[in-house]
Chains A and B, each alone.
Chain A
């Protein structure tokens, strides 16, 4: 059942490994990540005070024109990156904090019904497309950034629990764990110290895919207006609100859209690179 959550997990065995990425691809990946990430992290520091508002969608205002309420587009670009990235990271961390104990508990238990009770509800959750789940929950939750963190974490919960469970099951059946049981080590000690440490490797491999997935969901949520108040202005919101002016000031839409595309493409390439290097090391060891 444990279907891979994304194709980068699949490559089973040596034969099916992707071709080794060349140096050109590495450079492209680093540039694609560095530009948006740099803007997102350093942007708020250099944005400075807000200049006076001009008319909406004015192409000559500032470097990139003005947005739908006459704000400087370049300043909005500088300010609008970090919240998406921070939200995606928080959601990923939260998913691990809640999902890992569930997966560990399901793997450690000797009672089948506990395993079933922990994971079956998650299966039902998995059956729903994540955007639908997000819109459903958003229709009743208050529109804050924390709502989005919670929803995205919840959507990732089933996958995280399953991956941890699968990784832990393998370790939990080793003879060394049996020996610890017999020596009277407490269940929690075994789970946290021994199995938890072994599972960390699995999680590290999964984390990249998870972050990119969270970034995708957070951006989509922002674009659809989930968790955004009237004053929120991140790159995804910019794409949404400035769309009407695309004929007058295309940069107000295009720059944030390109930054989002570049960041997710770059992250995909970079994490794929890390994964393939790890696989390579595992094969040569």
Chain B
């Protein structure tokens, strides 16, 4: 276990370093003079000079990379080209709405996905199984923004049950009604993929020799199902959480549709404005989160079923 964990942490570290390198390389990849390219919409010499100074573009690449890398350890990610605010301040301000959304989504995801998967597996071939399987097949990979618009049209505009966006809401938790539609949209994809895996794993486990053996030992059906079959069915699901990290970023689109002032909205705005320091900071933050979640999920999968070593 510890050897696997150590190797896995090492690989995660390399991944984060690679993203740092990639994020830094973004500026180098800009065609021509980076400062001129970034000032594209406003080619005023003063603007160009300001960008050059803020990003230290008059220094050689190696110096800049070293500065940037050491800056990371001092939690200094530079300043925004647009607003001039420190990037860390921008990230800190946008963190709360995104974390709120992600935490609730994660808390709901596992019980719902596992529950639906187990339910379908226990009723294999029946109407309930058919309904759950059809829904999870068809809803997987539906673009979030389109699903969101359809749901808004039905539940906010037609029925008037829920607010259409989070515009004018000071705190998400103060008015939980604004969270309902974003959460449904955010959860649609991961629930589909994970519940299918739980279903498949559960059916396989229920038909296996060890479950038959447990039955022969005289254990109760409930005990066999939930204490013996289920943990084995969960291992591939845990691994899948680590593979489909897309849903973490599905938040970007969801935030954009429901006008939630979180990290996703900051990322979309920064990309539109070519605010490179902010993009770099966000990329690093998202990469670190992704790697951390992957790591946790892989370790859980390994703990549940040590034979499935996920990364060689």
A: residues with CB less than 8 A from B are 1, 3-8, 10-13, 15-16, 18-19, 21-22, 25, 29, 123-124, 127-132, 135-136, 138-140, 212-213, 215-216, 219-220, 223-226, 236, 239-240, 243, 246-247, 250, 253-254, 256-258, 260-261, 264-266, 268-269, 272
Contact = CB atoms under 8 A, between A and B. Distances in A.
Given A132-B283, A220-B253, A246-B157, A15 B150 contact: no
Contacts of B256: 223-224
A152 B106 CA distance: 27
Given A13-B204, A272-B137, A6 B143 contact: no
B252 A127 contact: no
Nearest to A18: B133
A139 B279 CA distance: 8
A7 B240 CA distance: 9
B271 interface: yes
A4 B23 CA distance: 28
- The SS class assigned to the A binding surface is helix
Interface of B: 14-15, 18-19, 22-23, 26, 29-30, 124-125, 129-130, 133-134, 136-147, 149-150, 152-153, 157, 164, 192-193, 196-197, 199-201, 203-204, 206-207, 236, 239-240, 243, 245-246, 248-250, 252-253, 256-257, 267-268, 270-272, 274, 276, 279, 283, 286-287, 290-291, 294, 309-312
Contacts, number: 189
Given A13-B204, A132-B287, A140 B141 contact: no
28 contacts: A3-B239, A7-B140, A7-B197, A13-B204, A15-B207, A16-B204, A19-B130, A127-B291, A128-B287, A129-B245, A129-B249, A131-B246, A132-B286, A135-B267, A139-B270, A140-B29, A140-B30, A213-B141, A219-B145, A220-B145, A223-B253, A239-B149, A253-B149, A254-B149, A257-B146, A257-B147, A266-B138, A272-B137
B268 A250 contact: no
B178 to A, nearest CB: 16
Contact of B253 (A22, A124, A224): A224
Contacts of A7: 136, 140, 192-193, 196-197, 200, 240
Given A7-B193, A246-B153, A257-B153, 4 more contacts: A127-B290, A128-B286, A265-B139, A268-B141
Nearest to B294: A127
A110 B271 CA distance: 43
Contact of A19 (B125, B192, B271): B125
Contacts of A246: 149, 152-153, 157, 164
Contacts of B193: 6-7
